[in-house]
Amino acid sequence: MKYTELSPAALQAEYEKVLAEYEGWKAKGLKLNMARGKPSRQQLDLSNGLLTVLSDGAECVDEGIDARNYGELTGLPCARRYFADVLGCRPSQVFAGGSASLTLMYDTVSKAMTHGLLHSERPWCREEGLKWLCPSPGYDRHFKISESFGFELVTVPMTPDGPDMDLVEELIRDPKVKGMWNVPKYSNPDGIIYSDETIRRLAAMKPAAPDFLMIWDNAYCVHEFDGDFVPFADILGLCEQYGNADMVVEYASTSKITLPGAGIACFACSEANMKYLTDLMGIQMISYDKINQLRHVRFLKDRAHTLELMKQHAAIMKPKFDMVAGTLEREIAPLGLAEWNRPKGGYFISVNTLPGLARRTVQLVKEAGVVMTGAGATFPYGKDPLDRNIRFAPSLPPVEELEQAVAVFCCSLKLAALEQLKK
């Protein structure tokens, strides 16, 4: 029976029962972590072969390039081809970089600030009152980047098809709106795949700002944990088709394919953007680590072979996601306290509680020894207007720890709801 339909007496009884259960959890002194989308040790072990795939100097020479030495700003040709194969674009559109796509995104925004982008009239730091579109709930680290550079963050609600496009098309008529975050496949944290129509409308946008930057963070491009690979559009080709070739920069990495602490990342963009950006990047670096690029190409080979590895990740990930969703279904659904998606890929389950319960729930969870992503983190400025979104990141803990963590969560959510309903 739903909590909202309980009588005051029944509420009080349930409260006492749940409180006792919560105190029991607290007494266990747990130390569990479901805060971030970190792969588990089992998943890391899938890429141990990466460590030995290059074992002598001669193997480090590829197509006449000694990957050990200086040179090749845009990355090894084989690494550019690898990412082009994964993303479905041209190798000439790919810049193969270091271990973090987040850094590549930050650097693109930073260069827009200090130098401007290809179609900028001036560096962005010479303009006032700039704004950035943030589909929400979204990725806290994205929002922090735009916040750090002083943009006003504009929340765009997510729908089951992706960002609310009517609103986006309205907002981009403001020339102060300079950019937009997107995680188009298995969005963080909702796990939504943008619909074809949403992607088409995004590619066809006509922003007032001539140097509008659509960031396309394809973080989970091959990251199905349930079922087969879901193909996705080549956003570069699509934007080109709508006369917007230079509006988009796409990002991806192997952080959740091989090793988060030692993967390789890339960005992909029009050849005109590539020329503009690499002219600037040539001042900043000689090249990123090319040995690690070569290791990855030798180990991952191509998209088809990468998808085989992703099946092994899926075998580890799926039971964890099933367990979380199953427990919520059993413990929370009948009480009418929250809703959630059941994504087939990505790293998160996004739970929306009744309004006003998220912050208190995460606090209770924390006091019982379980760290989750901070409530509100998935919204601009860390402020969830309805205080209802909580991000589950079930990948890191072993299943037995996860079971405890989810039980603590269910108990805490119930307690938070009862505290509120009793008032």
Of 106 and 229, CB closest to a copy of itself:
106
Task: Pick the piece of the chain touching a copy of itself (CB under 8 A) from 13-21, 129-137, 278-286, 399-407.
Answer: 278-286
User: Least CB distance from residue 22 to a copy of itself, whole Å?
Assistant: 30
Strand-strand pairing, 162-163 and 177-182:
unpaired
Of 96 and 238, CB closest to a copy of itself:
96
**Rounded CA separation 275/281 (Å):** 10
User: Least CB distance from residue 415 to a copy of itself, whole Å?
Assistant: 31
Does residue 259 belong to the site contacting a copy of itself (CB under 8 A)?
yes
Distance of CA 358 to the CA centre of its chain: 20
Among 14, 22, 34, 39, binds a copy of itself (CB under 8 A): 39
Question: Which x/- pattern, by CB under 8 A, does the window 120-159 give for a copy of itself?
Answer: ---x-xx--------------x--xx--xx----------
Tokens 């269910």, located at residue: 410
Among 136, 218, 254, 292, binds a copy of itself (CB under 8 A): 292
The token duo for 61 is: 């020479």
Q: DSSP of 202-265, one letter per residue?
A: HHT---SSTT-EEEEE-TTTT-BSSSS------HHHHHHHTT-TTSEEEEEESTTTS-TTS--E
Residue 219 CB contacts under 8 Å (≥ 6 apart), including other chains: 101, 183, 186, 188, 251, 252, 253, 255, 256
**Rounded CA separation 66/72 (Å):** 10
Instruction: Write out the binding residues for a copy of itself, residues 70-99 only, by CB under 8 A.
Output: 70-72, 98-99
User: Least CB distance from residue 306 to a copy of itself, whole Å?
Assistant: 18
Nearest Cα to Cα of residue 370 among 343, 410, 330:
410
User: Least CB distance from residue 421 to a copy of itself, whole Å?
Assistant: 38
Among 6, 73, 280, 407, binds a copy of itself (CB under 8 A): 280
User: Least CB distance from residue 262 to a copy of itself, whole Å?
Assistant: 4
Residue 275 buriedness (CB in 10 A; 0-12 / 13-18 / 19+): exposed
Does residue 115 belong to the site contacting a copy of itself (CB under 8 A)?
yes
Residue 170 CB contacts under 8 Å (≥ 6 apart), including other chains: none
* CB atoms closer than 10 angstroms to residue 49: 13
User: Least CB distance from residue 137 to a copy of itself, whole Å?
Assistant: 19
Task: Pick the piece of the chain touching a copy of itself (CB under 8 A) from 9-17, 171-179, 288-296, 339-347.
Answer: 288-296
User: Least CB distance from residue 307 to a copy of itself, whole Å?
Assistant: 21
Of 47 and 182, CB closest to a copy of itself:
47
Does residue 401 belong to the site contacting a copy of itself (CB under 8 A)?
no
Tokens 């074992």, located at residue: 55
Q: In what order do the strands lie in the sheet with 162-163?
A: 94-96, 265-268, 248-253, 213-217, 177-182, 131-136, 152-159, 162-163
Task: Pick the piece of the chain touching a copy of itself (CB under 8 A) from 61-69, 167-175, 180-188, 354-362.
Answer: 61-69
Nearest Cα to Cα of residue 356 among 274, 312, 310, 413:
413
Q: Is 373 in contact with 393 (CB distance < 8 Å)?
A: yes
Distance of CA 49 to the CA centre of its chain: 26
Does residue 206 belong to the site contacting a copy of itself (CB under 8 A)?
no
Does residue 242 belong to the site contacting a copy of itself (CB under 8 A)?
no
Of 102 and 236, CB closest to a copy of itself:
102
Among 114, 166, 315, 385, binds a copy of itself (CB under 8 A): 114
Residues that bind a copy of itself in the complex, under the rule CB under 8 A? 36, 38-39, 41, 44-45, 47-48, 51-52, 54-57, 60, 66-72, 98-100, 102-103, 106-107, 110, 113-115, 123, 125-126, 141, 144-145, 148-149, 255, 259-262, 280, 283-292
